[in-house]
């Protein structure tokens, strides 16, 4: 289906699935549980929910509005709508660079998930001591060829879907994977909650220790909420440009945010009970899911060998699919921009992106092994990219899009987008609330988060 000669998503369902596919990813399964663990459990979850409702949803609709109104890729959208002001051209380039950087290291984690899926299929978590299983992750990331090969495989799959374009690539992939993601995570949840000692993990997630409410925690909650909803990364703007004019954007944004939030909570309730059941530390950091979950599978394999083997495969399959649909939306930002500016074929652009991002990601992958002695501020290359892109670039880019929507974009255009030209009267009533939040409140809050990330 196309509008003004541009390919669009085929239906309301497709819009939600594509955007949910972008939003639901490693941020939900991998990042959210370990940050919630490090930041003190329940109170973090509460602040996270509030941030999502009051800031991330308005920002999400705003980015969709920028995308749809301009009909352009993220880099050119603001430039185009600002009447071709140079500043917005460069601001747009930040929005392209950031997702591509993230895509490179994201693919490394996707590669780990692929490796663990292969391990699960081989039944590698059964018949081994728990110690051996917990050490598997360290062994994997510190080796050279294997994680590199899986990272390149993951990047190749991502480029393959991006090459397919909007409807035959992205839409078709997300329409099937997102529902499957929900089904599998619910299945694993039941399993995780039935583990002995699981209740401690549940209590941890519901524990409201007010002492954990610090500015740092609030800034992490906000950053995580932006990350999880793919904000500040050009993905929402780019996908917004594939949305038809009659789509109710406010409604679809709320659907996506609720799906994403729900999935993050489900993931946390899968991981934390398992962590406690295994007697491990909730604040174990990025390796949390790869160290704790296989441990659980190995423990369970003694009593329930078949079930534990099947759930292990399902679990890593879920992570892999969630990571893929997000990586696709990251690469698509660059692909859309390059196709638009160079007029080269999608095929050629996807190949170039595969080569460049594959190379950058390879450095990240090797930074746990052969390149591990090279550190900046005590962080390896992988952690530097993660920290810089998620805590600095992403927040800065979110600031740019709020300032743009609140101060540069015409108010009438913004209201028109939100209500699809007056077609949805409820949206027209809510539009001023969103507009003024974006204009006055959001920039101040985002600025505070940005500064606190430097301290
Ligand atoms: N939202 C994705 C996640 O939760 C990550 C992502 C960020 C994807 C930005 C696209 C753009 O994992």
Kindly report the protein residue whose alpha carbon is nearest to atom 9 of ligand 1.
230
Checking phi first, is residue 165 left (phi over 0); if not, alpha (psi -120 to 50) or beta?
left
What is the pLDDT, as a whole number, of residue 303? 78
Average pLDDT, the chain: 89
Q: Is residue 259 within 6 Å of ligand 1 at its C-beta? A: no
CA distance 112 to 361: 12
58, 356 contact by CB (below 8 A): no
Among candidates 330, 326, 372, which has minimal Cα distance to 354?
Answer: 330
More confident residue, 66 or 390: 66
Q: Is residue 419 within 6 Å of ligand 1 at its C-beta? A: no
CA distance 114 to 118: 6
Q: For residue 294, what are the CA distances in angstroms to 14, 37, 134, 195, 204? A: 34, 18, 7, 14, 21
Q: Is residue 23 within 6 Å of ligand 1 at its C-beta? A: yes
* Helix 394-403, helix 57-70: angle, nearest 10: 70
| Phi, psi for residue 3 in degrees, rounded to 5 | -135, 130
Contacts (Cβ under 8 Å, ≥6 apart) of 179: 17
Q: Is residue 113 within 6 Å of ligand 1 at its C-beta? A: no
CA angle 204, 208, 213 (to 5 degrees): 115
Q: Is residue 110 within 6 Å of ligand 1 at its C-beta? A: no
What is the pLDDT, as a whole number, of residue 404? 92
What is the pLDDT, as a whole number, of residue 5? 64
For 208-246, write each residue's pLDDT tens digit: 888 888 888 888 898 899 999 999 889 999 999 999 999
Q: Is residue 452 within 6 Å of ligand 1 at its C-beta? A: no
Q: Is residue 99 within 6 Å of ligand 1 at its C-beta? A: yes
What is the pLDDT, as a whole number, of residue 2? 60
Residues in the chain: 455
Over residues 109-123, the mean pLDDT reads: 94
What is the pLDDT, as a whole number, of residue 295? 75
Which among 22, 264, 394 is the best mutation to test ligand 1's pocket, defined by most ligand atoms within 8 Å of the CB? 22
* Helix 394-403, helix 215-228: angle, nearest 10: 80
Q: Is residue 230 within 6 Å of ligand 1 at its C-beta? A: yes
Checking phi first, is residue 2 left (phi over 0); if not, alpha (psi -120 to 50) or beta?
beta
Give the pair of three-digit tokens for residue 255: 């659907």
Over residues 173-177, the mean pLDDT reads: 89
Give the pair of three-digit tokens for residue 93: 């380039």
Instruction: Look up residue 373 and give its DSSP letter.
Output: T
What DSSP string describes 285-297? Answer: -TTHHHHHHHHHH
| pLDDT range class, residue 167, cuts 50, 70, 90 | confident
Q: Is residue 52 within 6 Å of ligand 1 at its C-beta? A: no
424, 248 contact by CB (below 8 A): yes
For 185-195, write each residue's pLDDT tens digit: 898 898 888 88
What is the pLDDT, as a whole number, of residue 353? 98
Kindly report the protein residue whose alpha carbon is nearest to atom 11 of ligand 1.
230
pLDDT surpasses 90 at 425 = no
Q: Is residue 158 within 6 Å of ligand 1 at its C-beta? A: no
CA distance 226 to 16: 17
Percent of the chain residues past pLDDT 70, beyond the cut: 97
64, 236 contact by CB (below 8 A): yes
Give the pair of three-digit tokens for residue 149: 């090969």
Expressed in angstroms and rounded, the spacing between residue 16 Cα and the centre of ligand 1 is 15
Question: SS3 of 306, please?
Answer: helix
For 323-369, write each residue's pLDDT tens digit: 999 999 999 999 999 999 999 999 999 999 999 999 999 999 999 98
Expressed in angstroms and rounded, the spacing between residue 326 Cα and the centre of ligand 1 is 5
What is the pLDDT, as a whole number, of residue 379? 85
Q: Is residue 28 within 6 Å of ligand 1 at its C-beta? A: yes
What is the pLDDT, as a whole number, of residue 4? 62
Beta bridge partners of 379: 376
**Looking at 1-15, 61-75, 186-200, 397-411, which range is the least confident one?**
1-15
For 300-312, write each residue's pLDDT tens digit: 777 778 888 888 8
pTM given for the model: 0.90
Percent of the chain residues past pLDDT 90, beyond the cut: 50
Expressed in angstroms and rounded, the spacing between residue 303 Cα and the centre of ligand 1 is 37
| Phi, psi for residue 204 in degrees, rounded to 5 | -60, -40
Expressed in angstroms and rounded, the spacing between residue 28 Cα and the centre of ligand 1 is 9
What DSSP string describes 220-264? Answer: HHHHHHHHHTTTTSSHHHHHHTTS-TTS-HHHHHHHHHHHHHHHH
Kindly report the protein residue whose alpha carbon is nearest to atom 6 of ligand 1.
230
Annotate 251-276 with b (16+ C-beta within 10 A) or e (fewer). ebbbbbbebbbebbbbbbbbbbbbbb
pLDDT surpasses 90 at 23 = yes
| pLDDT range class, residue 286, cuts 50, 70, 90 | low
Q: Is residue 235 within 6 Å of ligand 1 at its C-beta? A: yes
| pLDDT range class, residue 54, cuts 50, 70, 90 | very high
């Amino acid at each position: 289906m196309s509008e003004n000669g541009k390919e669009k998503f085929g239906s309301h369902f497709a819009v939600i699935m594509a955007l949910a596919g972008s939003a639901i990813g490693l941020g939900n399964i991998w990042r959210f549980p370990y940050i919630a663990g490090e930041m003190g459990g329940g109170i973090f979850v509460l602040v996270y929910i509030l941030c999502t409702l009051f800031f991330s949803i308005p920002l999400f609709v705003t980015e969709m509005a920028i995308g749809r109104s301009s009909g352009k890729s993220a880099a050119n959208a603001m430039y185009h709508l600002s009447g071709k002001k140079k500043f917005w051209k460069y601001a747009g380039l930040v929005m392209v660079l950031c997702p591509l950087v993230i895509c490179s290291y994201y693919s490394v984690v996707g590669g780990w998930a692929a490796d663990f899926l292969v391990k699960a299929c081989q039944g590698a978590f059964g018949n081994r001591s728990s110690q051996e299983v917990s050490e598997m992750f360290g062994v994997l990331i510190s080796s050279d060829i294997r994680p590199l090969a899986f990272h390149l495989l993951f990047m190749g799959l991502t480029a393959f879907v991006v090459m397919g374009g909007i409807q035959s690539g992205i839409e078709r992939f997300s329409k099937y994977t997102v529902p499957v993601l929900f089904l599998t995570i619910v299945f694993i949840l039941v399993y995780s909650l039935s583990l002995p000692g699981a209740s401690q993990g549940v209590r941890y997630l519901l524990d409201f220790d007010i002492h954990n409410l610090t500015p740092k925690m609030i800034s992490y909650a906000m950053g995580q909420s932006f990350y999880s909803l793919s904000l500040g990364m050009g993905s929402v703007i780019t996908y917004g440009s594939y949305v038809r004019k009659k789509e109710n954007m406010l409604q679809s944004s709320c659907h996506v945010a609720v799906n994403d939030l729900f999935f993050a909570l489900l993931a946390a309730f899968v991981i934390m009970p398992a962590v406690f059941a295994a007697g491990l530390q909730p604040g174990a950091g990025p390796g949390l899911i790869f160290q704790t979950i296989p441990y659980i599978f190995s423990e369970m394999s003694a009593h329930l060998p078949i079930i534990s083997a099947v759930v292990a495969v399902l679990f890593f399959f879920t992570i892999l699919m969630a990571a893929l649909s997000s990586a696709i939306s990251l690469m698509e930002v660059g692909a859309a921009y390059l196709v638009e500016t160079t007029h080269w074929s999608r095929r050629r652009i996807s190949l170039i992106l595969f080569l460049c991002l594959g190379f950058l990601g390879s450095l990240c992958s090797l930074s746990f092994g052969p390149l591990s002695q090279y550190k900046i501020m005590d962080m390896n290359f992988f952690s530097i990219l993660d920290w810089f892109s998620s805590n600095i670039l992403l927040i800065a880019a979110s600031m740019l899009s709020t300032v743009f929507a609140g101060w540069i974009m015409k108010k009438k255009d913004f209201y028109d987008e939100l209500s699809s030209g007056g077609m949805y009267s409820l949206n027209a009533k809510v539009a001023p609330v969103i507009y003024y939040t974006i204009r006055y409140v959001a920039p101040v809050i985002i600025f505070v988060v940005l500064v606190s990330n430097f301290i």
